[in-house]
Amino acid sequence: MKLLTKTNLNFLTISLFIFMFGVAAFYYLLRSQVNQNINYELEKRKNSIIQQFDSSYPSNKEPVNPNEQIIVTPYYSGSSSALSFSDTILYDNETQRYIPYRKLGFVTNFNNQDYYVQIFKSLEETDMLIARIFLITTVLIILMIVILLFLNRITSRSVWNAFYETIDKLNKYDINSQSDLNLNQTEVKEFDDLNRVLIKMTNKIKEDYINLKEYTENSSHELQNPLAIINAKMELLLQSGNLTEKQYQAVVASYEASNRLSRLNKTLLLLAKIENRQFPESENIDPQVKIDFQLEYFEDLVTSKKINVKKEYNNPAPIKMNPFLSEILFSNLIKNAIRHNFEGGDLNIVFEDDVLTISNTGPKLRIEPESIFRRFNKSSNSPDSLGLGLAIVKKICDIYGFTPEYSFENGYHKFRISFKSA
């Protein structure tokens, strides 16, 4: 949910509650005010009626309003008539309907006889008035809430603008780029604080990142030198003809190990570079050209293992990626499919639209299929392989948003890569 929607929703819920309670309270207050008013009038009439009763009757002093009903009945003590204000309804003959009245009942004495007097005041007009006032205020309040909501939205938007700008800039920020994160001064202290913290954080991250990059580069260089020396010395040692068989074997074993070490170093560095996204350039790659090139490169391997290669290109879409990484990607996939194949096995390459499927025969995996893309997860029938080929494939797919999948069906290892970037 967006921040603006969230605050507006909160505002709306709260104002709705306040509005409901407020309207109810307003209604009862209004009602009681009006009742008080009517009570006061009825009281005044009661006094005048009592005066009329007291003085000679009929009196000319204050004629009784014919509209204002009065009911006088003899009163006997013990009868349970209400002696106070109450609401009631009476049938009106003229309009033929019930009309609400406010009633005051009291007892007065005339000629030594107690009379129970009920006087009434119609509530019709006041009720109408209350309804009108109520309607008008309700409409006004709703109008006010809507206007407030609208104004709130506008002001919030302008206030939060700086925040959205920061988010936008963070989104576009690339740690590989030369420029630092550039956030503008805002008018809000909190946002300025946030921006300051973000700038500090990204600068620190960038510094660490550069240090790490330098470290990998340095370690590469520094490791290659001693490795070069070891290899050169071993090669020289092999040239001297006076080694015994055993010594030869020892030198060869060490030589092979140091070669393996240097290959491992190079591959891990490549992985780190891919992870660090140090291959930013990209161009449109024709997969068919690249795959054919790799197959030619591995021709010896294919022939020596007598592998049947079948290719099928079905209007392959160009892939936008770094050319060097595309070579590594296809090379690793094809090498993998050849290496873990049987002698005389099959290798099928199908490229349809933007999906590449490479399937090959081969011994069943001894590791979980899910972990096939993990580093150093290798089957033991190729002791010299580094177990990094598919990890590199995964890494390359990760940075471009391609999805690699592995499955084992009917004796075929199937690698499927969708080049539709997610």
Residues that bind another protein (CB under 8 A): 217, 220-225, 227-233, 235-236, 238-239, 245, 248-249, 251-252, 255-256, 258-259, 262-263, 266, 269, 273, 278, 297-298, 300-301, 303-304, 324, 331, 335, 339, 382-386
Taking the least distance from each CB to another protein, the nearer of 193 and 222 is: 222
Q: Minimum distance from CB of 377 to another protein (Å)?
A: 16
| Burial class of residue 274, CB neighbours in 10 A (0-12, 13-18, 19+) | buried
Q: Minimum distance from CB of 212 to another protein (Å)?
A: 16
Taking the least distance from each CB to another protein, the nearer of 18 and 228 is: 228
Taking the least distance from each CB to another protein, the nearer of 177 and 421 is: 177
Taking the least distance from each CB to another protein, the nearer of 103 and 378 is: 378
**3 state DSSP class of 257:** helix
Q: Minimum distance from CB of 404 to another protein (Å)?
A: 20
Work out whether strand 355-361 and strand 85-92 pair parallel, antiparallel, or are unpaired.
Answer: unpaired
Q: Which residues lie below 8 Å from residue 60, measured CB to CB, with a gap of 6+?
A: none
CA distance 401 to 421: 5
CA distance 249 to 256: 10
- Tell me which DSSP letter residue 240 carries: S
Q: Minimum distance from CB of 360 to another protein (Å)?
A: 15
Cβ atoms < 10 Å from Cβ of 308: 12
CA distance 69 to 53: 16
Q: Which stretches does DSSP call E strand in 1-76?
A: 70-74
Taking the least distance from each CB to another protein, the nearer of 40 and 215 is: 215
Q: Minimum distance from CB of 239 to another protein (Å)?
A: 6
Q: Minimum distance from CB of 156 to another protein (Å)?
A: 49
Cα distances from 43 to residues 55, 100, 116, 186, 290, in angstroms, run: 18, 18, 15, 67, 105
Max Cα–Cα distance, the chain, nearest Å: 158
Q: Minimum distance from CB of 378 to another protein (Å)?
A: 12
- Tell me which DSSP letter residue 63 carries: P
- 81 with 106: CB under 8 angstroms? no
Taking the least distance from each CB to another protein, the nearer of 338 and 417 is: 338
> Which own/partner pairs from 13-21 qualify as long-range (CB within 8 Å, at least 24 positions apart)?
15/145, 15/148, 15/149, 19/141, 19/142, 19/145
Taking the least distance from each CB to another protein, the nearer of 45 and 340 is: 340
Taking the least distance from each CB to another protein, the nearer of 80 and 225 is: 225
| Phi, psi (degrees; rounded to nearest 5) at 401 | 75, 20
What's at 37, amino acid-wise? N
Q: Minimum distance from CB of 298 to another protein (Å)?
A: 8
